[in-house]
Amino acid sequence: MSSIQACNYPALIRFTEVGLRDGLQMESVFVPTETKLELVKALIRAGVRYLEISSFVSPRAVPQLRDAEALISAIPRDSGVHLAALAPNRRGVQRAVDARVDSVVLFVSASESHNGKNLNCEIARSLDNIGEAAQAAREASMPMQGAIAVAFGCPFEGEIDPDALLRIAERYLEIGCEGITLGDTTGMATPLIVQQTLMRLRQAFGPVPVTAHFHNTRGMALANMLEALRMGVTSFESSLGGIGGCPFAPGATGNVSTEDAVHMAHHLGIETGIDLDLLIQAALQLEAVLGRPLPGQVMRAGDRLRRYAIEAQVAAVG
């Protein structure tokens, strides 16, 4: 326990489950709304209270999320769950307001190349769009979060210009966003880059609330999360079973698994409010829905203190 105290990790952190949005958007076969709803209920039973539930983008761009309004309207709202949704422009925000989500997430990429692929326009135009979107959100008293995609590296351009990232963050704060989400969209972050990026944000803007969104493309997600924890980050995004990625970037495999991240947090003495056993059940439920093994590891191995009956194990012979 002394080593935990020495690292000065936060006592409580928040996970926002993004599997229903960032995870399922990569699936080519449409998952029925009723099935998505059952997954949401399983997550709520496990204690998950923050869900990035969908994205109000064109159904042509992301067909999997064409049922955003129907799914949101079916979710029981008496469970204390907070529903967030992505909205790239004013029209998306208006759809989010009409659907009665609890907050919207605006998003811009930190590189011109990825922004062109992801939003089909230059960063300057995207910043104009989010200004118009923010006006619609403010008129509806809708809380906003500002997300920066490829914040730690771009698959087309390489390293991200720190000034470009800071300009986007500054714009988000100007228009009234309550916090900044740093997206490791293609898993290019390292602990050192995480440290440097968080330090730049703090030097520029002070203690602005930061949410970290890591992908496990290169097996670095939990290491990056540890560094973010060490730097005082208390809000993270993760995906059930480790599914997902970015359809507009090559090699962008899954997000950090929610079960893996929660397991690590609990064994650092950090409270999450999530029941790991029930979360594993939800991940196995998702695996059955998708019909293939998922990349999450704790969903298969269980908690580190899981016990097995020794009589059931094969013994060495000879």
pLDDT in tens, 154-188: 989 999 999 999 999 999 999 999 999 999 998 99
User: Which residues lie closer than 8 Å to 162 by C-beta, 6 or more apart?
Assistant: 197, 200
Domain annotation covers residue 317 = no
Return left, alpha or beta for 219; rule: phi > 0 is left, psi -120 to 50 is alpha, else beta: left
> Does the pLDDT value for residue 1 go beyond 60?
no
Token digits for 208?
Answer: 């602005």
Catalytic status, residue 246: yes
Mean pLDDT of 201-220: 96
CATH number at residue 18: 3.20.20.70
Instruction: State how far the Cα of 108 lies from the Cα of 116, in Å rounded to an integer.
Output: 10
How many domains does the chain fold into?
1
Mean pLDDT of 254-279: 97
Domain annotation covers residue 98 = yes
Residue 106 · residue 144 · CB < 8 Å:
yes
**Signed CA dihedral, 185, 123, 28, 235: sign only:** positive
Out of 121, 154, 177, 246, the active site residue is: 246
Domain annotation covers residue 259 = yes
Percent of the chain with pLDDT over 70: 94
Domain annotation covers residue 318 = no
Question: Residue 223 belongs to what domain range?
Answer: 2-312
The whole model's pTM is what? 0.93
Expressed in angstroms, the distance from the first to the final Cα of the chain is 42
Q: Under DSSP, is residue 30 helix (H, G, I), strand (E, B) or coil? A: coil
Q: What is the pLDDT of residue 3?
A: 43
User: Which residues lie closer than 8 Å to 208 by C-beta, 6 or more apart?
Assistant: 169, 173, 179, 180, 201, 202
